[in-house]
Amino acid sequence: MASSEDKPAVKEDENAGSWKDSIFNPRTGEFCGRTAKSWGLILLFYLVFYAFLAGMFVLTIWVMLMTLDDYVPRYRDRVPDPGLVIRPMELDMMFNRSQPLQYADYIKTLETFLQQYNETEQELNKVCTAGDYFDQEGEVGVEKLTCQFKRSVLSRCSGLSDTTYGYAEGKPCILLKMNRIIGLKPEGDPYVNCTAKKHSGIHMQYFPSGGRFDKMYFPYYGNKLHKRYVQPLVAVQLQLGKEDFNTELTIECRIEGSNLRNNDERDKFLGRVTFRVTVKE
Ligand SMILES: *[C@@H]1O[C@H](CO)[C@@H](O)[C@H](O)[C@H]1NC(C)=O
Ligand SMILES: *[C@@H]1O[C@H](CO)[C@@H](O)[C@H](O)[C@H]1NC(C)=O
Ligand SMILES: *[C@@H]1O[C@H](CO)[C@@H](O)[C@H](O)[C@H]1NC(C)=O
């Protein structure tokens, strides 16, 4: 222990010297313990290393882009199920059937929406075989044909015979459609079933009859290839009577008869939709 007493003084000198030397040692020409040549090699190594990494990255991305299809998303584990949506896009509908101004917006929405289903528009599309998928794999990149869906199919909900879509009568029409899903081919025979909660007596009338979505409108090939595509529609007319006016009705519509999901707990618009209707008089 005693012999070590004089050491600190000496060490301090050594430390000071080696600390300075560790930055730049004039005797050996070392900077931070390395010669210029050594530093040069290190820099070169990192330069080559990072250039290599960047090269790998670019190559990987390029290879991936080369294998991607321009039109169809390739990596999907399964085709997702469609949501069900309504027109007018109003989940809380309320109007007095005796006051046209109160339902004017609903009618306007329906009229605008149905323009693309006009006779003249749809005459340009193909008359397809009902009940069969309209597969058009064929050549890649060729524009796909669309099956005709004329609004006249919606009969009393087409806005052609009754321009108020039943609203003036207090029997409103609501249009339903599935969201577009590329490549979707519903199995079975999908149809819409609407029920009124707590008012099970309300009669619903569907157009086309049975509320069916025909298979010929599937699959959809995407916006780029299927420019003229229109979704098939189902109209439901609520056949309300005196006893149903001035009360809030909760209507739930579901896609049934197929493999499409309609009871997902987390997504209440998957294959179904719930909305409220109050018709006053
Ligand atoms: C669709 O038909 C309605 C009347 O049936 C007409 O007023 C409207 O201009 C037509 N729209 C298109 C885009 O052809
Ligand atoms: C519609 O749904 C109701 C309630 O879930 C059910 O009782 C009825 O049988 C269904 N109708 C059809 C045609 O599937
Ligand atoms: C609906 O409109 C009619 C005519 O304007 C009016 O007499 C009636 O009181 C209205 N009903 C309600 C519930 O506001």
Compute the average pLDDT of residues 145-166: 97
Q: Quick check: 168 and 176 in contact, CB under 8 A?
A: no
CA of 253 to the centre of ligand 2 (A): 10
Residue nearest to atom 7 of ligand 3 (CA): 281
- Average pLDDT of the segment spanning 35-56: 89
Task: Output the CA angle 130-213-114, nearest 5 degrees.
Answer: 100
| pTM for the structure as a whole | 0.77
Does 115 sit in the ligand 1 pocket, CB within 6 Å? yes
Q: How confident is the model at residue 76 (pLDDT cuts 50, 70, 90)?
A: low
Helices (H), the chain: 7-23, 36-67, 100-114, 119-122
The tens digit of pLDDT for each residue in 247-275 reads: 999 999 999 999 999 999 999 999 999 99
Pick the ligand that lies closest to the CA of residue 119: 1
Q: Report the pLDDT value the prediction gives residue 17, as an integer from 0 to 100.
A: 57
Query: In the beta sheet, which residues pair with residue 188?
Result: 258
CB contact at 8 A, 233 and 213: no
Would you say the C-alpha torsion 184, 223, 213, 276 has a positive or negative sign?
positive
Residue 10 has pLDDT above 50, yes or no: no
pLDDT in tens, 102-143: 999 999 999 999 999 999 999 999 999 999 999 998 877 889
Using a 10 angstrom Cβ sphere, with 0-12 exposed, 13-18 middle and 19 or more buried, the burial of residue 245 is: middle
Neighbouring C-alpha atoms within 13 Å toward the C-beta of 13: 4
User: What distance in angstroms lies between residue 208's CA and the mean position of ligand 3's atoms?
Assistant: 33
pLDDT value of residue 74: 57
Ligand nearest to the CA of 100: 3
Residue 239 Cα to ligand 1 midpoint, Å, equals 27
118 CB near ligand 1 (under 6 Å):
yes
- For the chain, domains (ranges, CATH) are 2-67 (no CATH), 84-280 (2.60.40.1660)
Å from CA of 186 to ligand 1 middle: 31
pLDDT for residue 245 is more than 90: yes
User: pLDDT-derived band of residue 4, with 50, 70 and 90 as boundaries?
Assistant: very low
